Amino acid sequence: MSMTATTPAPALLRDRLARARAAAHAAGIDALVVAPGTDLTYLIGGTGHSFERLTCLVVADETVLVVPKLEAPGYAGLPTADLGVRVATWVDGENPYAMVADLLGPATQVAVGDMLPALHTLALRDALPTARQVLAGPVLSELRMRKDAAEIAGLRTAGAAIDRVHARMGEWLRAGRTEREVGADIAAAIIAEGHISVEFVIVGSGPNGASPHHELSDRVIEAGDVVVIDIGGLVAEGYNSDSTRVYAVGEPRDADVLDTYAVLQQAQRAAVDFVKPGVTAEQVDAAARGVIADAGFGEYFIHRTGHGIGLDVHEDPYIVAGNDLVLEAGMAFSIEPGIYQPGRWGARIEDIVVVTETGVESLNNRPHDLVVLPA
């Protein structure tokens, strides 16, 4: 049986639409043109798809879902009537861009969805030659990165589900198996433990662990390997998990593993402990980066400390140098410093955390120690 994410209550979606409309107005934007994807999910509860035929949600004085007539049945289950959203269909041979232009009238500034294909963005520009196009992302991300109680509950569910998968790693991870074989077992467990889809599985063994986004390969895992396992999936509530733990298959072959890994543990804990309302994203990044640099591994920490998570695996806020965003209660993101030594081994520890009114809550609660499994 196929499974899909549940649709939020109409009252919640009406509030989101009202806040999106108010935020656009405050920014001097006449209309939002929202592409299919998670922004559409956030506002009306359905994801949809972007094809060569234009589908978009126009949020202005009136909110209209513009959709090809042949695609309209896919949106029939959405509570559009309860949300005050009019559905306007079009058929092949008609000009949907002119339809949007007619809806907007004398608009001077239109914010288009960040993921709206250029095919549609440029055609809309031609249909609205006097309107300035800007990105809708800055408006919508301001709303989306402040999670409400229901969203945080969904993220808690996701975090607990992926923790259960990590707890079972000893069932599959051992010498003599390939990364691909282990990855297939992990993917099955992600579904079995409560997700409705697998978003990613990284099994980076031995030298492959030094590549943070390593793809599954046919490398045979060997005794003594350090293995980075970074996994995530989507739960029925519509929210994502993402957690990384590090395992050793038997005692690590490299003598520096335990001491180096201890530095990583200290860095990850320092960053998590630093999180609270009022600090900035870049300060959290610096808390982790400083520990790693002071220990002499600064050149081996080659990515940001974290990314926001919610309807997307990667979204605002980003925990990175140069981001002076002040953290607020309800913001959720990863804390995942890493140390990667090319040609040798790598390690990363990742938890999803949420900012509370007084500090921080971790949504992943598996131990952070290097887990030594039987070879």
- For 236-287, write each residue's pLDDT tens digit: 999 999 999 999 999 999 999 999 999 999 999 999 999 999 999 999 999 9
Sheet with 315-319, strands from edge to edge, namely: 315-319, 306-308, 332-335, 351-355, 360-362
**Closest by CA position to 64, among listed 104, 92, 98:** 104
88-124: pLDDT as tens digits: 999 999 999 999 999 999 999 999 999 899 999 999 9
| DSSP-derived secondary structure letter, 7 | P
pLDDT at residue 193, rounded to an integer: 98
**What's the rounded Cα separation, in Å, for the pair 266 and 297?**
13
pLDDT at residue 2, rounded to an integer: 35
**What's the rounded Cα separation, in Å, for the pair 375 and 220?**
13
In degrees to the nearest 10, what's the CA dihedral of 167, 172, 177, 178?
-60
Mean predicted lDDT score pLDDT of the chain: 96
Six-digit token string for 209: 């662990």
Neighbouring-strand partners of residue 346: 340
**Model-level pTM?**
0.94
Common-topology check for domains 10-142 and 149-373: no
210-227: pLDDT as tens digits: 999 999 999 999 999 999
Locate tokens 């607020």: which residue? Answer: 328
How many other β-carbons are positioned within 10 Å of the β-carbon of residue 259? 9
Locate tokens 């006097």: which residue? Answer: 130
| Rounded mean pLDDT, 362-374 | 97
Alpha helices in 117-246 (DSSP H): 118-127, 137-144, 149-167, 179-192
CATH 1.25.40.10 fits domain 10-142: no
Has residue 4 got a pLDDT over 80?
Answer: no
Has residue 184 got a pLDDT over 60?
Answer: yes
| DSSP-derived secondary structure letter, 8 | P
Concatenated DSSP letters of 313-332:
SSEEEEE-TT--PBP-TT-E
Specify the CATH class of 149-373 in words.
alpha beta
| Rounded mean pLDDT, 136-143 | 94
| Rounded mean pLDDT, 77-83 | 94
Q: Domain locations in the chain?
A: 10-142, 149-373
Q: Assign 5 a pLDDT band (cuts: 50, 70, 90).
A: confident
Q: Which helix (H) or strand (E) holds 260?
A: helix 257-274
pLDDT at residue 1, rounded to an integer: 27
- CB of 284 within 8 A of CB of 271? yes
